[in-house]
């Protein structure tokens, strides 16, 4: 481990707290270590890396990810998400190489902040993302929708993802149903008629809580 990484780890550890660590671990149902560092404190610690070049920051993120500590994996995802377009290929490689290691929504959602802009930058990556919809790995399947929220929010056509959502309706995993509802809810802010049409065709297959989520902005 290089000195930059060691210094970052020590600084982040000092910002944690035992009570919050215990609460986080219980809430996340996590098996790994927790230090109880808040999101603002993680962000503040990441700011200390700004003087470093992007290749060094990417190396720090890679080294942090190897540690079985929840807070360090959140930090690693956020560091990578903050890299510029010049690191496009390296960021996408970092994300996709670690998909199978995702094991919870919090780390996965921070990965989405890194992956979303990379999908927009290279739309052909949607071909790879589409394959995730049939993965046996829960968090990879979920990522097909959560990682493409940025695509939809940027005003690009949602049709391809709506097709994925239609196929995933039969998946009864809570987190998949939640992701479908979340995706449709966000689209409903921009294109309510499209969401209504999708629900008319496929909504009967959604669990009640997911349908309620999807309809949030349709009832106003």
Tell me if 56 sits within 8 A of 21, measured CB to CB.
no
Tell me 69's DSSP state: B
Tell me, yes or no, whether 114 and 220 share the same domain: yes
In whole angstroms, what is the distance from residue 160 CA to residue 157 CA?
8
Q: Report the largest interatomic distance among the alpha carbons of the chain, rounded to a whole angstrom.
A: 57
Sequence-ordered strand ranges (E) for the chain:
none
Is 198 inside any structural domain?
A: yes
pLDDT tens readout for residues 164-182: 999 999 999 999 999 999 9
The structural domain count of the chain equals 2
What percent of the chain clears pLDDT 90, i.e. is strictly above it?
Answer: 96
Tell me, yes or no, whether 113 and 157 share the same domain: yes
Is 98 inside any structural domain?
A: no
Q: What is the pLDDT of residue 220?
A: 60
Q: What is the pLDDT of residue 2?
A: 78
Helix (H, G, I), strand (E, B) or coil at 119: helix
Is 92 inside any structural domain?
A: no
Domain that holds residue 62: 1-83
**Reported confidence tier of residue 22, pLDDT bands at 50, 70, 90:** very high
pLDDT tens readout for residues 77-87: 999 999 999 99
pLDDT at 1 over 80: no
Is 173 inside any structural domain?
A: yes
Tell me, yes or no, whether 117 and 209 share the same domain: yes
Q: What is the pLDDT of residue 65?
A: 97
pTM, 2 dp: 0.92
Q: Which two tokens stand for residue 135?
A: 């993965």
Which of 218, 213, 167 is CA-nearest to residue 195?
Answer: 218
Q: What is the pLDDT of residue 219?
A: 73
In whole angstroms, what is the distance from residue 65 CA to residue 87 CA?
18
Q: What is the pLDDT of residue 47?
A: 97
| CATH number of the structural domain spanning residue 149 | 1.25.10.90
**Reported confidence tier of residue 10, pLDDT bands at 50, 70, 90:** very high
Q: What average pLDDT does range 140-162 have in this prediction?
A: 97
Tell me, yes or no, whether 214 and 144 share the same domain: yes
Q: What is the pLDDT of residue 204?
A: 96
pLDDT at 41 over 70: yes
Tell me, yes or no, whether 63 and 109 share the same domain: no
Tell me, yes or no, whether 117 and 220 share the same domain: yes
């Amino acid at each position: 481990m290089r000195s930059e990484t060691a210094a970052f780890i020590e600084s982040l550890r000092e910002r944690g707290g035992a009570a919050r660590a215990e609460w986080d671990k219980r809430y996340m149902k996590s098996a790994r270590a927790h230090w109880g560092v808040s999101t603002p404190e993680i962000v503040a610690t990441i700011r200390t890396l700004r003087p470093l070049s992007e290749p060094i920051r990417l190396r720090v993120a890679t080294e942090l990810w190897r540690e079985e500590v929840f807070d360090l994996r959140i930090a690693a995802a956020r560091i990578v998400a903050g890299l510029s377009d010049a690191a496009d290929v390296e960021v996408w490689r970092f994300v996709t190489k670690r998909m199978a290691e995702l094991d919870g929504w919090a780390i996965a959602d921070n990965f989405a902040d890194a992956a979303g802009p990379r999908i927009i930058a290279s739309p052909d990556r949607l071909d790879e993302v589409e394959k995730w919809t049939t993965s046996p790995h829960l968090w990879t399947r979920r990522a097909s929708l959560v990682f493409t929220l940025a695509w939809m929010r940027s005003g690009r056509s949602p049709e391809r993802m709506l097709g994925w959502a239609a196929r995933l309706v039969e998946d009864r995993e809570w987190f998949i149903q939640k992701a479908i509802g979340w995706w449709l809810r966000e689209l409903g802010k921009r294109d309510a008629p499209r969401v209504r049409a999708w629900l008319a065709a496929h909504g009967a297959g959604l669990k009640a809580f997911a349908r309620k989520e999807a309809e949030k902005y349709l009832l106003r």
